[in-house]
Amino acid sequence: MNVPTPSPIARIFAWSVHIFTATGLLAGFMAILAIVDHEWQEAAYWLLAALLIDGVDGTFARMARVREVLPNVDGKSIDYVIDFANYAIIPAFFLYESNLIFIPWNEIAVGLILLVSALYYGLDGMVSEDQYFVGFPVMWNMVVLFQVFVFQVGSALNFSLVVLFAILHFVPVKFAYPSQNKHSKVPTILVTIFFIASLLAAIYYYPTPPVWCKILAVLTVAYYAGLAVYDTFFRKQA
């Protein structure tokens, strides 16, 4: 059976999607430059820009049918490279440079973030068949932005939070994959929007975010935690 050859327009569209995905790495590099200069707000905006690119490129990829049009280009591999940089390496550098954790514990925290993230990426089944992250996903960008801009809780507690989330990488708890989840997709996407909005507000008002901003951020995080518990332990019985 002959497979139709994709048209030049289809190939250009597919390549454009891959290039768009790759711009997430450019946003990450701009975040590095801002972190070096201790421009925390600018760095945070670049990391959120990278998150936005990662959040919508999958939709564009499906529209462009990239797997069919460019079967020799592995979009997932491109995505993994960019995600590991933006969700593990750069947040770890952000944590190190921001002095949220005192020496030498900051170096231990950075090492822990990078090691557990690399191991997590190597796990089979880190995304379940029903489209959940199994274990806390590599989303250290959100953890570090929350620590820097929402609550400044002190060195010891910041280190404890890093240890907690590092352990949660390997605990078989189902965490929602907002754009792919079959259950509670609409409310989860809405809560994700509120979470990003609360972070944006906290970044804008840094270093003294208003109380409403902190409350909204905490409520959205509580939703994710509660949904993880429900989906892991009660969803089958429901």
What are the pLDDT digits (tens) for 52-70?
A: 999 899 889 999 999 999 9
Q: Which residues contact 136 (CB under 8 A, 6 or more apart)?
A: 165, 168, 169, 171, 173, 175
> How many folded domains does the chain comprise?
1
Chain centroid to CA 29:
16
Host domain of residue 105: 8-233
Is residue 111, in this structure, part of any structural domain at all? yes
Residue 127: strand pairing partners:
133
Is residue 2, in this structure, part of any structural domain at all? no
Is residue 78, in this structure, part of any structural domain at all? yes
Residue 236's pLDDT is what?
Answer: 67
Is residue 1, in this structure, part of any structural domain at all? no
For the chain, which residues score pLDDT lower than 50? 1, 237-238
CA 175 – CA 133 distance, rounded (Å): 5
Is residue 128, in this structure, part of any structural domain at all? yes
Is residue 52, in this structure, part of any structural domain at all? yes
CA 20 – CA 127 distance, rounded (Å): 24
Asked if 92 contacts 70 with a C-beta cutoff of 8 angstroms, the reply is: no
Is residue 238, in this structure, part of any structural domain at all? no
CA 46 – CA 145 distance, rounded (Å): 12
Is residue 175, in this structure, part of any structural domain at all? yes
CA 50 – CA 214 distance, rounded (Å): 23
Strands 174-176 and 132-134: antiparallel
Residue 238's pLDDT is what?
Answer: 46
